[in-house]
Amino acid sequence: ILNVEQSPQSLHVQEGDSTNFTCSFPSSNFYALHWYRWETAKSPEALFVMTLNGDEKKKGRISATLNTKEGYSYLYIKGSQPEDSATYLCAFSPNTGNQFYFGTGTSLTVIP
Amino acid sequence: AAGVIQSPRHLIKEKRETATLKCYPIPRHDTVYWYQQGPGQDPQFLISFYEKMQSDKGSIPDRFSAQQFSDYHSELNMSSLELGDSALYFCASRRVRTEAFFGQGTRLTVV
């Protein structure tokens, strides 16, 4: 079992604030890093799949960066809105086997 | 495109009863994950299967068991249900080197 850690565990921000959180994963045997947004009572929505060191992906106000050498990915949300409130999960795929290791998630609450 | 199918979508059971939740992965997906999300809570990983074998285990109570069958569908069996088991249960599937896709969830209510 590999450790995929996310921090912080939970986060409360004011509407309009920008925020970011971290996903840490093993730097060896890297294949891919996935980000999901999971709103309460809905299915998780895939945000990004990142495979190359230095990758930057953007979707609207949400962006992510990847550092495979040091084993971390940042997710940024610019100008947070109440509809951004959700749990953000990352998942790590090593290049051996078929394991898919989810992090513990960061629960974001955006206060209007 | 085919998606992950979960059944039933809604289930109401009484305390101490048994429930079985089913997950049908996307065709050719060989891995299934189960998650539980209680009301107002973060999702909790329960258990995963790869090629019909348990591959990882999270915070799954001893009262629950799960398996993956030869056709790759998975069932989560929950016995001696408690009020606290009321939650949304999601499953996800993937095959090697792809992202995971989630089903719509089963809402279990224990009364």
- What confidence tens digit (pLDDT) does each residue in B17-65 have? 999 999 999 999 989 999 998 887 777 889 999 999 998 888 899 999 9
Phi/psi of residue B83, nearest 5 degrees: -55, -35
Asked if B98 contacts B34 with a C-beta cutoff of 8 angstroms, the reply is no
CB contact under 8 A, B45 and A102: yes
Residue B98 pLDDT grade (very low, low, confident, very high; cuts 50, 70, 90): confident
Who's near A97: CB < 8 A, 6+ residues apart?
A: none
| A40 contacts in chain B (CB < 8 Å) | 37, 40
Q: Give per-residue pLDDT as tens, A38-75.
A: 888 788 888 999 999 999 999 999 999 999 999 999 99
Which two three-digit tokens encode residue A85?
């409130």
Whether the bond between A8 and the residue before it is cis, its omega within 30 degrees of 0, is: yes
Which two three-digit tokens encode residue A1?
């079992």
Which two three-digit tokens encode residue A34?
């996935």
| Torsion angle, alpha carbons of A21, A26, A27, A30, to 10 | -100
Nearest CA in chain B to A50: B99
| A43 contacts in chain B (CB < 8 Å) | 90, 102-105
Phi/psi of residue B84, nearest 5 degrees: -70, -10
CB contact under 8 A, B100 and A100: yes
Q: What is the mean pLDDT of chain B?
A: 92
Rg (CA), chain A: 14
Question: Is pLDDT of B5 > 90?
Answer: yes
